[in-house]
Structure 1
Amino acid sequence: MNGLPDDATLYQQAPCGLLVTDAAGLILRANATLCRWLGYSQAALVGKLRIQDRLPVGARIFHQTHCLPILQVQGSVGQLQMEIRDSGGQRMPVLVNIVRRTVDGRTFDEWSLAAMNERRSYERELLAARKTAEQALEARLEAETQLRDLNGELSDADRRKDEFLATLSHELRNPLAPMRGVLEVLKLDKARPASEAKLLDVFDRQLGHLTHLVDDLMEMSRITQNRMELRRAPVALADIVHSAVEDVAPMMRAARHDFSVTIEASGAVVDADPTRLSQVLVNLLTNACKYTPDGGLVSLSLRQEGEQAVIAVRDNGIGIPPEALATIFGMFSQLEPALRRAKGGLGIGLALVRGIVALHGGTIAAESPGPGLGSTFTVRLPRHTQEMPLTVAQTRGQAKAATPLKVLLVD
């Protein structure tokens, strides 16, 4: 075939030494590889030297007493480790295979010699690679064992943490009810001096704040222990949106935010616990209000995408650093310790939100271009097949509740 080397070229360029001797050992043919190894030209080797002439004494005796008798009986001998000398007398270890043939009454021995130096190098490399692989496998198995142990320890620590939170929230909640009762009794005295009434108002606000924190702890404990119960039913998502808007409207007004609500899917229905979903939206809107400087922009939109209802809460507040987006929904996660002191909270609000959304079969994601550039929280919930359009009374009531907030209904 055109372009392919012929047999003679392949013979000459073979990576092993090839030669043919007669019965007396005279070299009748040798390839270029063997000539290069021995340091002879073909003219100086072929027909001039016997193979025995290039064997050290020990190898020559071995050839005479071992190889030749076996060739005489079996016709071949293989995998013999011998040494051969080059023209300068240097010894070269080789692996020898010999086949005896008889042609027209003449006996020929066909030799092939593989350089043991290269083979030993390959063997050393192979052994080194095998050792490296075994060490890597051993290290991997050890790492997997350590990982299993660490996972077990983390699971135990997580379980103990959940148990601690459950116990802590209950223990903290127990004294709150009598404290609230005492406060209400004290507030019944209308003749109390203004200074004392002011102190009671402070007590009332702080007690309410403490109650809210304890409630968050209890809710988070229920979620982590899979004990939160949902009272699910088909419900118009717009109703939940408007309920949450009513709850946060005073806060938005106090902060002088430009707060807008856009409902593009007024008939969207979800199978949900309305109280829990309202809790989710109130939490997101409260965060948007708290972390947006006074007079900022806060918006809530409800739309439909295929089989999902999508609620987005946007603001132009402090934003979220890129590195914090991956952990923003973790328990006790807050952007900066300074914010915790300034804004309050335990940092479990978004973890609670994610847990409630997940229980409804939905997802929540956070986006932000970066610090100081605002943020967007998007909740996606599976839609129910039923449609529940808003009534005129509901629409008027919601618009009134939101005043002076912007409410846009798009059917």
Structure 2
Amino acid sequence: MPTESKPDTDMLYEQAACGLLLTDADGLILRVNQTLCRWLGYASNDLVSKRRVQDLLTIGGKIFHQTHWAPLLKMQGSVAEVKLEFIHSSGEPIPMMMNAISDSFDADIYHQIALFIATDRHKYERELLAARKNAEEVLQVQLAAQRELALVEARFRNAVEAAQLHIWHFDAQTETRHFDGSVRDLLGIDETQEISDDIFLQSIHPEDREREALSLNATVDAGAAGSRITYRLNGKDGVQRTVLSASRAVFDNDGTLLQVIGILQDITDQARRSAEAEDRALFAEQMIGIVSHDLRNPLSVILSGTEMLSRIGLNPDQTRVVQRIKRAGDRAHRLISDLLDFTVARLGSGLHIGRQMVDLHSLVSDSIEELKLAFPNYKIEHRETGTGLCEIDPDRLVQVLGNLVANAIAYGSSTEAITISTTVETEVIFLKVHNFGEPIRADLVDTLFKPMTRGVDAPSGAKSVGLGLFIVQEIVSAHGGEITVTSSAESGTTFSISLPGVHSSVAK
């Protein structure tokens, strides 16, 4: 058989898969293989007997070689897997793993060194260190977040306890509700009993269960951001409690519902006080209606008496007294009428209107003539547009006009004319009352038509109970119309009413 050719020992040494060095005890290179020369970019004769191994290291490597590596090798005779950076002939550092053993030969100490390039390992270690540093930073952030979360939770718990709130949540996965132990107080059960969804639902007043279920379903199924509902709980201790339940849905990033967080607040005392206040207000309004109605009869007698007295011969002083009585009676009659309308509007189904076919322009003109007699010192003008025929409640519209003109006289300029405009268009009629004077503040416009509200201060003698504009709005609403107001120092104040009042046959 032919003899197989194998690399000799020298070839195995020179072309080994690692760098090999032989140095004396001081590190002077005595022999180096071609592998290491190729890695470092040197020829063998550039290193042998000319360089020490520590001369090939970076400054940090030299310090480590002197303070750690050499003493350790001398002390224990070997060093394994030490990473140092060697300098390439071009000046670039090359990370290498170094294994070394110390041996004596003919009474001389020699160091046998094996080197492995550790570029990938070096990169991995750097990435590992960076990852570790990043993990430590993340850990610090997480610990800080946990501390902050614990602080927020403590504050939240203090707020919940101070406000006497009770927490519950609905788990979207199990479709069940879970309750804090404090909910036992609302259900009237002791600490030995568990709070289940069924027990809670059974405690809800039968008349309120459907509303409560709809509220929860709206949040769960429709994705409503939150809801508030008030219902009654029949406690096991025989006490009925009124609770306010507020809930809010929590979603993940893709919009999937995770859970619904809710709070319960016992508002039994507030609900009782609110009901008592409503009863008192209702009673007061009923009394206003009763007293106002009962005052009409004696007032009618007074007005009839003044009418009869004015027809008989009276001296001037007597005539002035009778006229003052009549003016006071007329004013009292208007106040009583306003109070009765207010009571009907608040306690009944709204003001009643009876539509009739009338000429709007003539109706307003006649009413203006009466207003001129009542307010002889004021100038009232009328502007009309369109045919005038429309279907409205004439008495109520005259009442609207009277209230608006009285309002203009009470709060407007006494030297500028009050202008009333009537316009009849297809399917719509317009009535506007304009006056100059102190403008209505912008922050009062939204509340102007509420009862007992005034836009600006008026002289004490011109003040009323503040129901005129409220009744105007109720009459306009009963007609299915709208009323708006604009007010400025330059343009004056204008109340604009639009009513769907034109009869279809007339429009044709």
TM-score class normalised by the smaller sequence: 0.5 to 0.7
Deviations 1:225-280 (A, max 9, x none): 2253222234443343233223223346x2252x332222224523x321111210
Aligned equivalents of 1:322, 1:269: Cα separation in 2: 34
8 Å contact 1:269–1:386 — kept in the other structure? no
Alignment of 1:392-403 (within 5 A): none
Name the residue aligned to 2:335. Answer: 213
Letter in 2 for 1:229: H
Name the residue aligned to 1:386. Answer: 504
RMSD: 3.9
Change (3 A) 1:236 1:201: closer
**Corresponding residue to 2:319 among 197, 200, 203:** 197
Q: Are 1:261 and 2:382 an aligned pair? A: yes
Which SS does the other structure have where 1:175 is aligned? helix
Name the residue aligned to 1:160. Answer: 283
Name the residue aligned to 2:416. Answer: 296
**Corresponding residue to 2:471 among 341, 348, 352:** 352
Name the residue aligned to 2:461. Answer: 342
The gaps in structure 2 that reach 5 residues or longer are 1-119, 167-245, 247-262
Name the residue aligned to 2:437. Answer: 317
The gaps in structure 1 that reach 5 residues or longer are 1-26, 40-91, 95-112, 390-411
Change (3 A) 1:260 1:225: same
Name the residue aligned to 2:225. Answer: none
Aligned equivalents of 1:185, 1:248: Cα separation in 2: 23
* Larger Rg over CA atoms: 2
Name the residue aligned to 1:245. Answer: 368
8 Å contact 1:317–1:373 — kept in the other structure? no
- How far 1:375 moved relative to its partner? 0.6
Which SS does the other structure have where 1:356 is aligned? helix
8 Å contact 2:352–2:478 — kept in the other structure? no
Q: Are 1:121 and 2:242 an aligned pair? A: no
Normalised TM-score (structure 1)? 0.58
Change (3 A) 1:340 1:295: closer
**Corresponding residue to 1:374 among 482, 492, 508:** 492
Using CA pairs under 8 Å that are at least 6 residues apart, name the structure with larger relative contact order, 1 or 2. Answer: 1
**Corresponding residue to 2:300 among 168, 173, 177:** 177
Paired residue total:
286
Letter in 1 for 2:464: G
Q: Percent sequence identity over matched residues?
A: 21
Aligned equivalents of 1:241, 1:144: Cα separation in 2: 56
Aligned equivalents of 1:266, 1:131: Cα separation in 2: 74
Alignment of 1:41-190 (within 5 A): 116-126=139-149, 138=165, 145=267, 152=275, 155-187=278-310, 189-190=312-313
Letter in 2 for 1:170: H
Normalised TM-score (structure 2)? 0.48
Change (3 A) 1:308 1:35: same
Name the residue aligned to 1:362. Answer: 481
8 Å contact 1:308–1:383 — kept in the other structure? yes
8 Å contact 2:413–2:435 — kept in the other structure? no
Name the residue aligned to 1:65. Answer: none
Which SS does the other structure have where 1:351 is aligned? helix
Name the residue aligned to 2:204. Answer: none
8 Å contact 1:269–1:387 — kept in the other structure? no
Letter in 2 for 1:320: I
Letter in 2 for 1:175: P
